[in-house]
Structure 1
């Protein structure tokens, strides 16, 4: 089975990302920073906040659905806020999504929040609500289940160091994954954690039997050239001992986001 985890950057590099996903067609895609604007008939909208201006694909979620027509899609919104087309405002939902090939049954799932609760009246100031999603899939090739969970971790304007809220989010992610799993299940936890490799978040995840593949296999960061700041780590993928890792890679080319896709082949 092939799993891809990626922060989609709101579809900013849409023209590169869509062909890449069509060609890659992973069995499971865990995608963060997903935009869903049901009332918009525009292709691009703009996000404005505190002097930050970012182009966003208005219906990024639906575009990924069309790129992966053989997948079941689950969108997990964290908040609804404003996106703009000139002076016209649109209500837009923002969160993460999971895409699972239709031939792979989802036999359990749970959506939750690792920080805060759903914000219906604007994105608000940081730290904003953060969602997570876990699925339990049945792997017919191997004859037993696998649990896959992902989150988009808190963004703090002063860096990626440990905070009390970040340690709480790690515990909530661990609890979410465990609540879907059964004894003996293979388990994979991934996402844009927004923490440093030395974070105590990994102590919490190690306590449920998970080990990170990014840092233990010598990858020097998960950011592309589109990310201009220091600190090259953000995204991680952890597995338990029941997962047989066939291959794992941090994809450098093509650059389809300011984050690198993480791709795991496992059985």
Structure 2
């Protein structure tokens, strides 16, 4: 089974990302920073937050669904705000999504918030609402259940330092994973956590019996050349049974986001 976790950067590198996903076709794709604007047929809109201005693929969720036609897709919104079409505002939802190949039966799932709640009237002040999604599938080839839970960790304007909100978020993520996991199966927790490798977040998850693969296997970061700030770690993947891992990689080429895809084979 092949799993991929990626912050899609709102589809900014759409022309590179979509062919990459269509060619790779992971069995399970955990995708963060997903834009869903069903009230417009526009391909591109603009996100504005003070000096923070980014192009956004207006229907990024739809685009990935089209790139992975053999997958069942679930979109988990964290908020609805507006994007801009010139000087016109367009309602747009923002969150994360999970794509599961149709050959894998989804036998349990849970969607919830790890920070705040759904924000229906704007994206809100930082740190903003954050959702998470967990699934349990049955791997008939190996005759076992596999659970995968992911989140996009909150962004704090003070950086990636430990905060009470981040620690509470980690506990909610672990609780969500426990709700969908079978203790006799494989458990995976992943996402763009927005924390440092020595964070309380990773400490809490490791204390729960999970092994973090990015740092344990010696990778020097999860960011691409499109990310120019200091600090190269943001994304992590943890498993309960490292012996089940046949391959793990932080993919630096091709560059399809300002984050690297994390790819796990079990």
Q: Which TM-score applies when normalising by structure 2?
A: 0.99
8 Å CA contact 1:187, 1:242 repeated in 2: no
In the other structure, the counterpart of 1:215 is 215
| Cα distance per residue 1:21-43 (max 9 Å; x no partner) | 01100000000000000011111
In the other structure, the counterpart of 1:250 is 250
Return the alpha-carbon distance in structure 2 between the equivalents of residues 217 and 35 of structure 1: 32
- Structure 1 residues 69 and 164: alpha-carbon distance in aligned structure 2, compared to 1, 3 A threshold: same
Return the alpha-carbon distance in structure 1 between the equivalents of residues 236 and 183 of structure 2: 24
In the other structure, the counterpart of 1:105 is 105
Return the alpha-carbon distance in structure 1 between the equivalents of residues 208 and 24 of structure 2: 31
In the other structure, the counterpart of 2:169 is 169
Return the alpha-carbon distance in structure 1 between the equivalents of residues 209 and 96 of structure 2: 25
- SS of 1:128's equivalent? coil
8 Å CA contact 2:211, 2:242 repeated in 1: no
Determine if the alignment matches structure 1 residue 96 to structure 2 residue 106.
Answer: no
- SS of 1:215's equivalent? helix
Aligned pairs, number: 266
8 Å CA contact 1:186, 1:243 repeated in 2: no
Return the alpha-carbon distance in structure 1 between the equivalents of residues 243 and 108 of structure 2: 19
Post-superposition offset of 1:182 = 2.3
Q: Please, which runs of 5 or more residues in structure 2 have no aligned partner? A: none
Report which stretch shifted further, 48-57 or 65-74. 48-57
Runs of 4+ deviating beyond 6 Å: none
In the other structure, the counterpart of 2:122 is 122
The root-mean-square deviation of aligned C-alpha atoms, in Å, is 0.8
| Cα distance per residue 1:213-249 (max 9 Å; x no partner) | 0000000000000001000000000000276100000
Return the alpha-carbon distance in structure 2 between the equivalents of residues 243 and 70 of structure 1: 29
Return the alpha-carbon distance in structure 1 between the equivalents of residues 108 and 242 of structure 2: 19
- Structure 1 residues 243 and 78: alpha-carbon distance in aligned structure 2, compared to 1, 3 A threshold: farther
In the other structure, the counterpart of 2:62 is 62
Return the alpha-carbon distance in structure 1 between the equivalents of residues 103 and 49 of structure 2: 41
Post-superposition offset of 1:85 = 0.4
8 Å CA contact 1:104, 1:139 repeated in 2: yes
- SS of 1:177's equivalent? helix
Return the alpha-carbon distance in structure 1 between the equivalents of residues 207 and 241 of structure 2: 13
TM alignment of 1:169-208, pairs within 5 A: 169-208=169-208
